[in-house]
Amino acid sequence: MKNRSATEQAEPTISATTGMQGGLGRTLLAAFLVLAIVPMSTISFIAVNRTRQDMRQELMTRLTAVATLKEAQIQRWITERSRSLAVLSSKPDVQQAAMTLLTQHPSSAAYDAAYTNLRDSLRAELMQDTGFAAFLLRGEDSDEPLLEVMATHKQVSTDTTWPEVSLTSDGHHVSLSSVAPTLNVTYSIPGPEGEALGLLIGRLDITALDQIMTEPTELGEMGETYLVTPAGQSISALATDANIPLPVFLHSQGIDAALAEHGGSGLYDNYAGQPVIGAYRWLPELQAALLAEQAQAEAFAPEDRLATMLVGTTLAVALLTTLLAAVVTRQITRPIVLLTMRAVRIANGDLEQTVPVDRRDEIGILARAFNIMTAELRALYNGLEQKVAERTTQLREANRRVRYRAMQLAVSAEVGRVATSILDLDVLLSRVVELIRDYYRFTYVAIFLLDDTGQWAVLREGSGELGDTLKAKGQWLSVGEPSLVGQVAEKSEPRVLSKADVRSGSSFHLSSTHSEAAFPLRIGGRTLGVLDIHSPHADAFDEDDVKVLQGIADQIAIAIENARAYELEREAARQLREAEEMRRRFLAHMSHELREPLTNIIGFSRVILKGIDGPISDQQRSDLEIVYANGQHLLGLINDLLDVAQIEAGLMELEFKEVDLRELIHSVMATISALVRDKDIQLQQEIHPELPPIEADGTRLRQVLLKLLSNAAKFTDRGSITVGAWPNGNQVQVTVADTGRGIPEEDHERVFERFEQGESGVKRPQGIGVGLALCKEFVEMHGGRIWVESQEEVGSTFTFTLPIRRQ
């Protein structure tokens, strides 16, 4: 079963990617990983975000609590310092000494003693109370200090500016210096009557405030709390750089918000440009901003550690899941892979393959079913090769016949194309015989046509050199004789001669001819000739060939008939052209020959009418006037014929000049008035006042108007004849309207044709029918057009247009 045919072995083999490299194994492994990793990643992401939010909220709460604690400590410290200053101010010796300094003259002995006692008391207080750095006593009416005592054991600010505070009889004031970050508390010294005599100011020791602000909190190593004045000065020491001398002017988002008296918390960059999380608020009692901040790197470190732990856990679980999924996938896909590989081998032609059945589950059932199908496939394949070979032979034969049939149809289509495109009979027949011979590869193809008597079939065209030779000699076959062509020409039915009959029945014998067929060239009930075909193959013409070739013969017959009809039409057209040329020459010659004697007749009759040759009787005058009028009429007809001849010969040329159409119409109307002198007809003109001059041939334009007005006068017995003219864009439009008999609607176009006249109710047509034709020619030569609108017994209106300027 492995020895397949060469054709089958040439077919591409099937390959498959199986196992963990692709297919089912990879799909299952990917599914396991997605089911394990995606939920865990989602849970980890949600947990990290939720934890981050909780931790940030906790940080905000902690910072707010630290700020609240520091605010309480600062307020308590200031309150204690204020209370200490109040106690100091209420001591009798201090009050007595202060009153002496405030009331006595500085040059008195009591003033000096009080000054010394108060200075010693304040120095003693500075040594005992570490919260103060200096004291100052100021009078009611003077800004100059009466007494100023500085602590010598402390670092005191170099700022000597003391706050300006009004005297009060009770209470105290806490203020910041506007020059340096110093903190002062004040207390008024009452007089005997309770009035405020002076003010005792105590400058607080900032180092004590630094101790409060730098006490350890839960803000970590990178956290700090500090105070900032409205001017941006730092009151307390900064953790960023302990060596920065005070004052330091600070700025950040939190500081700006707190100085604007907006409390809150958030993430921002601190005064040193370091990202922090902080809480801030405004201290109205101190007139300063309090900020508690912690570096984001330190504050968010637990979040980062948690995220790292969760990511690591997720990766570890993913790795473990991958290992477990790989093991499970291998257990599932291994038997399927084995089954797939065996199926691929069978698909590639190895039908001896079987699958071991070592399982009792669905895969085992599939393996048993696979073995059964393989066995059935081997059985089918054993008998299939012969059937395939037989069917292949049939298909090849059918394919050959289809190609042959397509070739026949192509020949038929090509013959049809040639038949419709070539009208010369000799060229047509030569092309057809060569076409049939080349397509079918016949030995010889000939076409015989019947002569006028129908008794002889004459060779009209043959293929190749043999055809030329036979045509030169002349081959005539009698209709009805025993030859194949004679029989087909008589009976008008196709006939085929096999190899055995060719020698006796052929029109002439060729050694290379092994079969011959003849087909009548028939159209309708007539036979025009015979298509004779010689083939080098025996039995070359079956029933289908005969039908196709007969169809081709019928097409050839139609083409022959068309070519003959075309030849007849071409000959008739030639004869018509010759007749037309003779007519044109006759008209021109006759017109010239008649014009000279007619001119003499008109001239002499005019001379006699004028009495130059002597008096004549009334009867003679009447007769001569008839001769003169008819001579003029005949001369007009001859001139019209000459114009027609010139137009037909292409010799008519117009002389364009500027023409005053108004004057031309007046002149023509004056001329035509003689024709209507004896009729009840009114001549009217409707000319636009702004009618412009035009470029035209005045002579031909006058001729057009005269002919139109003459026709109107001829066919109008009563009523009116109106000539109108007006500008219409870049043209002028002229109308000649009458109230005559009118023209039937079917004659509206015909009246403009040469030698045609409309039926206008006249018993005998007048003229030869070229007047309106000349009008049309002259108008169109000017670039205009002419038409008529008419109704019988109502009248006619002839309208023509002319361009104002020559195109």
Whether 455 and 527 map to the same domain: the answer is yes
In a shared domain, residues 729 and 797: yes
- Residue 10, domain member (yes or no): no
Q: Which of 355-369, 468-482, 525-539 has the lowest mean pLDDT?
A: 355-369
List Cα–Cα distances, 501 to 496, 596, 608, 652, in angstroms: 9, 83, 99, 74
Q: CB burial class (10 A; 0-12, 13-18, 19+) of residue 786?
A: buried
- Are the C-beta atoms of residues 671 and 687 closer than 8 Å to each other? no
CATH of the domain at 677: 3.30.565.10
**How far lies 645's CA from each of 50, 581, 632, 633, 738, in Å?**
111, 10, 20, 19, 30
Q: What is the band of 170 on the pLDDT scale with cuts at 50, 70, 90?
A: very low
Q: Which of 282, 276, 185 is nearest to 230 (CA)?
A: 282
Q: Assign 142 a pLDDT band (cuts: 50, 70, 90).
A: low
pLDDT at 123: 86
Q: Which long-range contacts (CB under 8 A, 24 or more apart) does 173-180 make?
A: 174/78, 174/82, 174/285, 174/286, 175/287, 176/229, 176/235, 176/286, 176/287, 176/288, 178/231, 180/233, 180/246, 180/247
pLDDT band at residue 174, thresholds of 50, 70 and 90? Answer: low
Q: Are residues 494 and 643 in the same domain?
A: yes
Q: What is the mean predicted confidence (pLDDT) over 187-211? A: 77
Q: Is the residue at 307 inside a domain? A: no
Judgement on whether residues 204 and 80 belong to the same structural domain of the protein: yes
Considering the domain architecture, whether residues 452 and 583 belong to the same structural domain is answered as yes
- Whether 227 has a pLDDT exceeding 90, the answer reads no
Do 658 and 643 share a domain, yes or no? Answer: no
Continuous segment of H or E residues that includes residue 186: strand 183-190
- Which residue blocks in 91-158 are alpha helix, DSSP H? 92-103, 109-128
Q: Is residue 249 part of a domain?
A: yes
Residues 508 and 572 in one domain: yes
Q: Are 557 and 592 in contact (CB under 8 A)?
A: no
For the entire predicted model, the pTM comes to 0.38
Q: What is the mean pLDDT of residues 241-250?
A: 59
189-193, 232-236, 542-546: the lowest-pLDDT one: 189-193
Return the pLDDT at 685. 94
In 334-452, at which residue ranges do the beta strands (DSSP E only) sit?
A: 444-450
**Of the given ranges (155-159, 284-288, 588-592), which has the lowest mean pLDDT?**
155-159
Q: How confident is the model at residue 751 (pLDDT cuts 50, 70, 90)?
A: confident
| Same domain? 504 vs 619 | yes
Mean pLDDT for 182-206 is 78
* CATH number of the domain to which 86 belongs: 3.30.450.20
Longest Cα separation, the chain? 185
- Most confident option among 314-318, 333-337, 760-764: 314-318
In a domain, 337, yes or no: no
In a domain, 379, yes or no: no
Domain end call among 617, 652, 687: 652
Same domain, 641 and 658: no
Q: Is residue 97 part of a domain?
A: yes
Q: How far apart are CA 608 and CA 451, in angstroms?
A: 72
CATH number for the domain harbouring residue 488: 3.30.450.40
Residue 549 has pLDDT above 90, yes or no: no
In a domain? residue 396 = no
Taking CA atoms, 673 is separated from 702, 710, 760, in Å, by 15, 10, 22
How far is residue 168's CA from residue 73's CA, in Å, rounded to a whole number?
Answer: 27
Percentage helix, strand, coil for the chain under 3-state DSSP, each rounded to 5: 50, 20, 30
Q: Specify if 341 maps to a domain.
A: no
Q: Angle between the 301-347 and 24-90 helix axes, to the nearest 10 degrees?
A: 180
* Average confidence (pLDDT) over 665-682: 87
Instruction: Tell me which of 611, 629, 652 is where a domain ends.
Output: 652
Same-domain status, 625 and 668: no
In order of 686, 687, 690, 707, 782, the CA distances from 695 in angstroms are: 21, 18, 16, 21, 9
Q: What is the mean pLDDT of residues 633-646?
A: 71
Same domain, 570 and 550: yes
pLDDT at 12 over 60: no
More confident residue, 328 or 258: 258
State which of 652, 673, 694 marks the end of a domain.
Answer: 652
The candidate with the shortest Cα–Cα distance to 754, out of 648, 625, 657, 607, is 648
Most confident of 129-143, 192-206, 321-335, 560-574: 560-574
Q: Give the residue from 596, 792, 584, 800 showing the smallest Cα distance to 701.
A: 800
In which domain, by residue range, is 674 found?
Answer: 653-803
Q: Give the mean model confidence (pLDDT) for residues 514-537.
A: 87
600 with 684, same domain: the answer is no
Q: In the prediction, which pLDDT does 800 show?
A: 96
Pairing of strands 795-803, 444-450: unpaired
Domain count, the chain: 3
* Residue 799, pLDDT above cutoff 90: yes
